[in-house]
């Protein structure tokens, strides 16, 4: 179907005076005495294109005024008073009718209501803006790494090893329920892979394999977590950006994370001006200014031990009590980012007991070289570390956790054959989108959210 994108018509002045064909869905329509107006959107732009219909002209338009109807319009682009341009229609063809039961009749619907119809909510301004921001950020992240000699690696989604060891793996099986197996071992050895398999919670372990050959790599793909936490920031399927760098220590990883975030947010502010203004107007007043502020200052850095002291001295009445050794809850993370630092802050060197087996053990014997990045409004968006590169120390940490070393033999080999200091992090892509848009529920920054008790 030959037609011009509405974005092009709205932004390219050379169309003025030209005849064009545009397609789209009717967002609103007004029918006055001599003229009718249609606000048309084809998804290429947050802004709609106004179609002006002169009722005296011989144009069939009556069926085109219903919300949600898809139409094709031919007409001339003219300068307009309020918008940059509009189209004086010469012909209108209804492509797909839309009956009155179309649910998106009102101007503004609640996000909860829209969550009940993921197949239609993309046609609202909010989701038009969210999905474009998502797309622009994804491209910027790829560009950031590609421009700096990182190799993009696709790590396996089906795996036999649990990276985080938190017992949150979805099982992958071809076996249904059966009483024919005597025990779990027999059940798994008869399954497709001959052993227990699951969906990967992180590409890190295989990312390390690639980094030990290619030096600097990143992954950008889905991770899966069967977390039973029905919170506004957890999904069962989320997109994960995981760079892994050889010949790097924790400060190098922190520096790269900050530079990457600043670079992609700068590009977002420059590329998605309309969308970011929309979020500033409708979701979080002043968000553009806050992001500008964020990228023009250094992020904070604080050790876990200092962070615990700050929380204990805060006088705040937290739901979860604070003591050295506890995991930081969202309320603690947000207090540190929002009240103490009032900006993004890296928290480093966590107690080894609350972090994963692979993290480099610090000389104090109590902490590991871990880092989380906390941001106002969301809490943690990045989790990373320097990795334990010493074979014996890694084995000891795995034994402490009662892990089955046989499942990790490839990973252990990396420490035997030319081991180097290395590290990386995982950025939750949806959490980044929440942070930069001010959208406060993770279910509203992805096309089809998967969360506990919720799939379609």
Task: Point out which residues bind ligand 4AD (CB under 6 A).
Answer: 163-164, 202, 204, 225, 227, 234-235, 238, 240, 242, 380-385, 424-426, 428, 430-431
Q: Which sign does the torsion angle of CA 50, 56, 61, 67 carry?
A: positive
User: What tokens appear for 315 in the block?
Assistant: 């006088």
Shortest CA distance to 292 belongs to which of 343, 257, 326?
343
- Percent helix, strand, coil in the chain, to 5, is 35, 25, 40
Cβ nearer to ligand 4AD, comparing 50 with 385? 385
Question: Distance between CA 36 and CA 65 in Å, rounded?
Answer: 9
Cβ nearer to ligand 4AD, comparing 6 with 163? 163
**Residues 349, 308: contact at Cβ < 8 Å?**
no
DSSP state of 121: G
The alpha carbons of the chain give a radius of gyration, in whole angstroms, of: 26
Question: Distance between CA 388 and CA 356 in Å, rounded?
Answer: 11
Strand 300-303 to 345-351 pairing: parallel
- Helix, coil or strand: residue 426: strand
Cβ nearer to ligand 4AD, comparing 68 with 428? 428
- Helix, coil or strand: residue 323: coil
Shortest Å distance, C-beta 66 to ligand 4AD: 38
Shortest Å distance, C-beta 153 to ligand 4AD: 12
Could you tell me how far CA 237 lies from the centroid of its own chain?
11
- Going by C-beta distance under 8 Å and a sequence separation of 6 or more, which residues neighbour residue 124? 104, 109, 114
Question: Distance between CA 368 and CA 360 in Å, rounded?
Answer: 5
CB atoms within 10 A of CB 387: 31
- Going by C-beta distance under 8 Å and a sequence separation of 6 or more, which residues neighbour residue 444? 111, 114, 115, 126, 127, 130
User: What tokens appear for 4 in the block?
Assistant: 């011009």
DSSP state of 447: S
Give 454's Cβ-side CA count (13 Å radius).
19
**Residues 332, 323: contact at Cβ < 8 Å?**
no
Cα→Cα distances 352→98, 254, 379, Å: 58, 19, 21
CB atoms within 10 A of CB 48: 22
Burial of 138 (0-12, 13-18, 19+ CB in 10 A): middle
At 377, phi and psi to the nearest 5? 90, -30
Question: Distance between CA 324 and CA 307 in Å, rounded?
Answer: 10
**Residues 142, 220: contact at Cβ < 8 Å?**
yes
């Amino acid at each position: 179907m030959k037609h011009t994108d509405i974005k092009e018509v709205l932004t390219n002045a050379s169309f003025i005076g030209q005849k064009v064909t545009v397609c789209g869905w009717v967002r609103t329509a007004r029918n006055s005495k001599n003229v009718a107006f249609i606000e048309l959107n084809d998804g290429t732009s947050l802004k709609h294109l106004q179609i002006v219909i002169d009722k005296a002209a011989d144009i069939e338009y009556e069926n085109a005024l219903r919300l949600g109807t898809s139409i094709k319009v031919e007409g001339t682009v003219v300068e307009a008073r309020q918008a940059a341009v509009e189209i004086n229609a010469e012909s209108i063809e209804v492509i797909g009718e839309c009956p009155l039961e179309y649910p998106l009749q009102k101007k503004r619907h609640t996000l909860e209501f829209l969550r009940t119809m993921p197949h239609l909510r993309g046609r609202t301004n909010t989701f038009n803006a969210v999905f474009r921001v998502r797309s622009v950020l994804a491209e910027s992240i790829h560009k950031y790494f590609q421009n700096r000699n990182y190799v993009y690696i696709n790590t396996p989604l089906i795996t036999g090893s649990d990276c985080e060891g938190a017992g949150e793996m979805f099982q992958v099986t071809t076996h249904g329920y059966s009483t024919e197996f005597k025990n779990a071992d027999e059940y798994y050895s008869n399954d497709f892979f001959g052993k227990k398999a699951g969906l990967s919670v992180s590409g890190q372990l295989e990312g390390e394999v690639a980094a030990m050959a290619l030096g600097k790599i990143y992954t950008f793909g889905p991770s899966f977590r069967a977390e039973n936490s029905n919170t506004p920031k957890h999904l069962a399927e989320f997109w994960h950006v995981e760079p892994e760098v050889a010949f790097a220590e924790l400060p190098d990883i922190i520096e790269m994370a900050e530079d990457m975030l600043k670079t992609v947010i700068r590009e977002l502010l420059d590329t998605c001006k309309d969308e970011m203004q929309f979020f500033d107007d409708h979701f979080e007043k002043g968000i553009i200014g806050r992001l500008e502020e964020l990228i023009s200052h250094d992020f904070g850095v604080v050790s876990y031990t200092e962070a615990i002291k700050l929380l204990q001295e805060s006088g705040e009445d937290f739901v979860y009590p604070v003591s050295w050794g506890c995991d930081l809850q969202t309320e603690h993370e947000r207090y540190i980012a929002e009240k103490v630092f009032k900006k993004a802050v890296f928290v480093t060197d966590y107690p080894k007991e609350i972090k994963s087996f692979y993290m480099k053990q610090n000389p104090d014997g109590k902490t590991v070289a871990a880092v989380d990045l906390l941001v106002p409004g969301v809490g943690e968006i990045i989790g990373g570390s320097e990795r334990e590169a010493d074979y014996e120390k890694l084995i000891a940490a795995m034994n402490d956790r009662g892990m089955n070393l046989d499942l990790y033999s490839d990973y252990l080999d990396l420490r035997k054959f030319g081991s180097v200091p290395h590290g990386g992090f995982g950025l939750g892509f949806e959490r980044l989108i929440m942070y930069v848009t001010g959208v406060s529920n993770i279910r509203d920054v992805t096309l089809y959210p998967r969360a506990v008790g919720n799939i379609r």
